[in-house]
Structure formats: structure tokens, C-alpha cells
Amino acid sequence: MQNILVTGANGFIGSNLVKRLLSEGKTVRSLVRKTSDLSFLDALNTEIVYGDVNDIKSLETAMKGVELVFHIAGLAADWGPYEIFDKVNFQGTKHVAQTASQTGVKKMVYISTVAFHGFGKINMTEESPVAKNLIPYAETKYKAEKWLWDFQKQTDMKITAVRPGNVYGVNDRTFMLKYLEAMQTGKFMEVNKGRSKTCPVFIDNLIDIITLVSRESKAEGQAFIATDGLDIDWHTFNGKLADALGIKLPKASVPYGVAYPVAKIYYGIHKTLGIKSEPFLTPYRINNGGKDYHFSIRKLQQFFDYQPQTGLDEAVEKTIAWYKKVKN
């Protein structure tokens, strides 16, 4: 039986992946930090290994006897010092890959991001250019993926990268929990009336893609954009969420030309003064909501005849059911 390691197993994507792998009868080892909240893993029969992506000895212990590594651990945020992102997302990925190669791991699936392709276009692909002036998160994720493709030339270990769009669903405390709270409390507004295209990917569909590429030799040495393949704008997506919540979608909207400069000023003040609390507004959030941010999944379709198994209505229903359970 194939032994599997999942880094960042306690998080949103990681916990859903561990649950899926266990349901398929796999043996799964979960790498987490000692300070991690393990509530998402409490009911799962996974071996917990404490360590850190920058602690080589802990990685060597975690990878003993492992054949497949899903590297999900990373720092995902749209604010904070570059050095912290670089340490986790770039240096950490290097350590994971190098240790995996040295310990005999046969394949590594790296969870990357579409964010380094930037905003303002639709139907972007894996070959679309890297944007300029990236936030530290996107820049360090791109830096890590680029390094991995160079590293693959030096190792027998096979590498595949998955670049998710805007992930949402069960256990999503990073984005959806706060987003739905804002919608319910009226502290919510769209940018440009939500007319910009967006790139949602429901967590179950993302896990389908991640496990799919881990099984297929055709995926080795390849990167795949992972979204639900929808031609959808924010207003339509928000309307689905509001309907499932049983509320009217707030009508408040702010023009992009007003919101973006304000967000830059707000973010700049936080950065200059060294304020550690999360900024209410960031340029990334305004760009995400106010500019087209849309991707093609044609490569997934061409390689594997892929089609998302969970449709938008069902995905929203499952997400809201989880949200209500968490809030009650």
C-alpha cells in the first residue's frame, strides 16, 4: 500500500485531502506544527507527525517510507513582510522537495496558485505571463514553482503542480467564513457592482483534481490550473451565496477607481507603521473583486477529459450548510 505524506494537513485544503485519501483506503501521514489547530483532523484516522517545512530533521522523520508527498503547507495571505512568505513558501518548498528526493519519495504534488498570473484578463492559461508587482504570497509561490521545475532536472522524483483559483467550501476559515459573515452583517459591498469575472473552485472539485494528477503519469512535469471552469462574475456568485443564506444580497457597491487608491493608502499605513493586525482593505482584495480574474481549464480537459463533479448550486449549498453549522 502506498504511504502518503500531506504537509499542512490541518488546514482547509489539507484536511479535505486527508479525509478523501483515507476514504479511499490510503495510509496517510499528516505533517503539522506543534502550534497547529488540529480540530479538522480530530475525527480522522491519520498519523500525526509534528514538524516544520524549515526543520530538515522533522521532514526526514515524516518522509520515512513515504512514496507520495502532497505539499500543501504554505503561508496564504495578501499582506505581511516578504521575508516571512519567502521563508515558508520558497525556502520551505525547497526543503520539502530536497528531503523528499533524498529519502526516496517517488512523486510530489505541489499546490501552487493562479495568483502570480495577475488580474485584468479572462481565460488565462498555464502559459499566461507572470504579472508584475506581485504581492509577497504570489511572488514566493511562483519563485518556488519555478525552482521546482529546475530541481526536477536533477532528481528522479516526479513533480506536478496544481494552481487553484479562488478555493471555497467546507472548512474554509480563510476566505468564506469572513466573507459570509460580512454578507450577513451588512458589512459587505461589491466592487463595480460585481461585474468582473472570477475563478471559483469548490474544494471537492479541487481535491478531485489533486488526486487525479497524483495518479496519472501524464501529469508528471506539468502544471495545471484548477478552477470549476465557470464563466461567472462576482455578482452572480454572490447572489447564489445570498440566496442560500436566505438573505437579500446587499446592494452596496464601490467603483474600482475609488476603492483601489483607498486600499493602497490603507495598506501603506499598515506597512509603514508596522501594524500587525490584518488590514481591512488591501489592493489584492480590490483587484480580485474589481478586475477580471478568470482562467481556462482546457489543459485539464485535454489531458484527462476532466469535468467538475460538483456543480455550482450543490457546492454553494454544501458551503452554506457548513457555515451555518459553524456559526450555531
61-95 burial code (b ≥16 CB/10 A, e <16): bbbeebbbbbbbbbbbebbbeeeebbebbbbbbbb
Look at the chain and report how many structural domains it folds into.
1
Q: What is the pLDDT of residues 196-232, one digit of tens each?
A: 999 999 999 999 999 999 999 999 999 999 999 999 9
63, part of any domain? yes
Please check whether residue 188 lies inside any domain of the structure: no
User: Hunting for cell 517545512 — which residue is that?
Assistant: 53
Q: Which cell numbers in the block locate residue 122?
A: 479572462
- CATH number of the domain at 37, please: 3.40.50.720
Name the nearest CA neighbour of 97 among 138, 148, 62. 148
- Find out whether 242 and 186 touch, Cβ atoms under 8 Å: no
Residue 92 lies in a domain: yes
Q: Is residue 33 part of a domain?
A: yes
Confidence (pLDDT) at 2: 65
pLDDT tens column, 11-37? 999 999 999 999 999 999 999 999 999
Residue 49 lies in a domain: yes
Please indicate, yes or no, if residue 319 is contained in any of the structural domains: no
- 136: domain range? 3-171+199-229+294-310
Residues of the chain with pLDDT under 50: none
Residue 95 within a domain: yes
Residue 12: inside a domain = yes
User: From residue 48, how far is each of 10, 28, 43 by CA, in Å?
Assistant: 10, 9, 12
